[in-house]
Amino acid sequence: MTNQKSALRVAFPYTIPVMAGYLVLGTAYGILMNSKGLSLIWILVASIFAYAGSMQFVAVSLLASAFDPLGAFLMTLMVNARHLFYAISMLGKYRGSGRIKPYLIFSLTDETFSIVCSAEPPQGTSRKWFYFFISLLDHSYWIAGSVLGGILGSLIEFDTKGIDFVLTALFVVILINQWRSTKNHLPAMIGIASALLCRIIFGASNFIIPSMLLILLLMTLLKRPMERGINK
């Protein structure tokens, strides 16, 4: 038990930026669901089981159109295809986490990935519990935020326009930290350049999968220069 307690204490500070982002965005999500006439139970169900951050906003917009299970499924796969990359990146690190592994996989959102992919537990801290508490804390921030939003609903009015920029800011800061941690900037530049190019060619709603394919192609072609200086 003390092992887990210390892992929780070590994990918490890493999650503070996500706490800020998720409480705010989760609240916005709850307010949005509430405005579509969904009760607190559905907000809770969606945030606990269909936990996907940005995909949950897409799901709200789907709810506005006619019931289309296949369309909803394909849309989910499209929007969340990038999670394939997260899972590949965590294949090794999540090995040997035993019975908590399914939860680690289930809760691998953009924001949780952005932390677990670079954070290393200090010596003496159990790796799997470190990852577990980062995942669990992030998940609970999201649930707490969305329930809060569902309750607040129309009770108060404040202009939240632009608040979703908090996640952009989080990713920019992570990008800077990664940039400073290595001398080889080719992987980062390929990510940005591929996404930008595909965004221009394929438009805002269809560029994720082409970007992923382009990234895979470039990674295959540029294996040598890409690996140089990346910490193993």
Partner 1 sequence: MNYTTPQLIIFFGIVAFGTLLTRALPFILIPEKKEIPKFLKYLADVLPFTIIGLLVVYCLKDVSFVNTPHALPEIISIAVIVVLHLWKKNTLLSIGGGTVLYMILIQYVFK
Task: Find the helix packing angle between 208-221 and 69-80, rounded to 10°.
Answer: 40
Q: Is 25 helix (H, G, I), strand (E, B) or coil?
A: helix
Query: Residue 82, interface with partner 1 (CB under 8 A)?
Result: yes
CB of 85 to partner 1, least distance (A): 5
Q: Which of residues 122-141 bind partner 1 (CB under 8 A)?
A: none
- Is residue 175 involved in binding partner 1 (CB under 8 A)? yes
Is 217 a residue that touches partner 1 (CB under 8 A)? Answer: no
Among 15, 27, 80, 135, binds partner 1 (CB under 8 A): 80
Closest separation between CB of residue 4 and partner 1, Å? 22
Q: Helix 40-49 to helix 2-35 angle, to the nearest 10 degrees?
A: 130
4-12, 80-88, 120-128, 142-150 -> range binding partner 1 (CB under 8 A):
80-88
- Find out whether 27 and 150 touch, Cβ atoms under 8 Å: no
Choosing from 169, 201, 213, 221, the residue that interacts with partner 1 (CB under 8 A) is 169
One DSSP character per residue, 57-70 reads HHHHHHHTS---HH
**Stretch (H or E) spanning 165:** helix 165-181
Residue 40 sits in the site that holds partner 1 (CB under 8 A): no
- Give me 144's structure tokens: 């707490």
**Considering CB under 8 A, how many residues would be counted as binding partner 1?**
94
Choose between 7 and 47: whose C-beta lies nearer to partner 1. Answer: 47
- Burial string for 29-52 (b: 16+ CB within 10 Å, else e) reads bbbbbbeeebeeeebeebbeeebb
- Binding status of residue 201 toward partner 1 by CB under 8 A: no
16 vs 19: CA distance, rounded Å: 5
Indicate whether 156 belongs to the interface with partner 1 (CB under 8 A). no
114 binds partner 1 per the rule CB under 8 A: yes
Can residue 158 be called a binding residue for partner 1 (CB under 8 A)?
A: no
Q: Per CB under 8 A, does 1 bind partner 1?
A: no
